[in-house]
Amino acid sequence: MIFENKKLLRRLNEMIDAAIAGTFSAETYDESLISKIESKMMRFLEISRLKQDQTENERSRVRSLIGDISHQTKTPLSNVTLYAGLLSEQDLTDTQAKLARQISVSAEALSFLIQSLVKASRLESGAIKIEPKPGDVYALVETAAGLCAANAAAKNISVEYEQNTAHITALFDSRWCAEALFNIIENAVKYTPERGKVSVAVTEYEMFARVDICDTGRGIREQDLPKVFERFWRAESSGDSPGAGIGLYLAREIITSCGGYIKVSSKEGKGSVFSVFLSKV
């Protein structure tokens, strides 16, 4: 009996190893317990492969659809933006001018959403290659903060960051991680009231570098914190603030692809802190 149990356990171990390696096949064809287990394992793996193929096909169709939408809407959106700009230059009443501006804003928001969807789709499919390399974290922060300068100035918000002559080196893709930090800083600017403050600080540790983006905005409810990085999620308190709920999702995907991670802490009415951790060289 002990010998049979050992034989069964040994065969189960071999079956699991073969399933992990993708080389599993049933070897016993009788009424024994091992044969029944092998048969069920084969059925389980076949069902799993079928579901995996279905999921990949669905993803492929979604990527193709997003690509088609992006291609087909590029020219119409450009025309809408152009005509709205020309319209705003005419002698309009206050109401007409306001409507013309709203057309431009809506067209820009739709264009941004489509571009973000394309980026997310390409990132998920592996079409975008994230290539982490040693780089200066201070230079990364300066690039990302600079991209937010115009929108911050429009709201009289100061974006402060340390311009240090020393270097803190970490592993990241300079292009895509700059966009990830930009998304986080831009989000902080968006939800911080006029004359507020956004600060970016870098802290060095033995194994990683941490970038903290702090704001004096409206904050996030505790029950909503686990959702902030979900695609298309927006807090109920977002109101009429522009956005598609995809910027933080992209930021997390990019940072994760570089071997790092993001944490967030917040209190309603007291602002938020997004902490980006980048692996050291």
61-77 pLDDT, tens digit per residue, is 766 766 777 767 778 88
For the segment(s) 133-279, the CATH number from 3.30.565.10, 2.70.98.50, 1.10.472.10, 3.40.50.740 is: 3.30.565.10
pLDDT above 60 (res 9):
yes
> So what's the pLDDT on residue 212?
95
> So what's the pLDDT on residue 213?
93
Kind of pairing between the strands at 208-215 and 271-279: antiparallel
Convert the pLDDT of each residue in 143-198 to its tens digit. 998 888 888 888 888 888 877 667 889 999 988 999 899 999 998 888 888 888 89
Token pair of 104, please?
């431009």
Token pair of 38, please?
């092998």
**Banded model confidence at residue 38, pLDDT cuts 50, 70, 90:** confident
Residue 9 CB neighbours (<10 A): 10
pLDDT above 60 (res 239):
no
The CATH fold of domain 1-128: Helix Hairpins (1.10.287)
| Rounded distance between C-alpha atoms, residue 52 and residue 246, angstroms | 25
Residue 247 CB neighbours (<10 A): 19
- Higher-pLDDT residue of 231, 214: 214
> So what's the pLDDT on residue 235?
66
**What one-character DSSP code corresponds to residue 191?**
T
pLDDT above 60 (res 102):
yes
| Rounded distance between C-alpha atoms, residue 221 and residue 161, angstroms | 26
In which element (H, E) is residue 190 found?
A: helix 174-190
> So what's the pLDDT on residue 110?
80
* Model pTM score: 0.66
| Rounded distance between C-alpha atoms, residue 229 and residue 225, angstroms | 9
Q: Are 248 and 182 in contact (CB under 8 A)?
A: no
**What is the mean predicted confidence (pLDDT) over 123-137?**
81
Q: Are 81 and 107 in contact (CB under 8 A)?
A: yes
Convert the pLDDT of each residue in 16-29 to its tens digit. 777 777 776 766 55
**What is the mean predicted confidence (pLDDT) over 128-145?**
89
Q: Tell me if 1-128 shares its fold with 133-279.
A: no
Per-domain residue ranges for the chain? 1-128, 133-279
> So what's the pLDDT on residue 88?
83
Percent share of the chain, pLDDT over 90:
20
Radius of gyration of the chain (CA): 26
- Higher-pLDDT residue of 105, 99: 99
Residue ranges of E strands in the chain:
133-136, 158-161, 169-172, 197-204, 208-215, 261-267, 271-279
| Rounded distance between C-alpha atoms, residue 57 and residue 48, angstroms | 14
> So what's the pLDDT on residue 30?
55
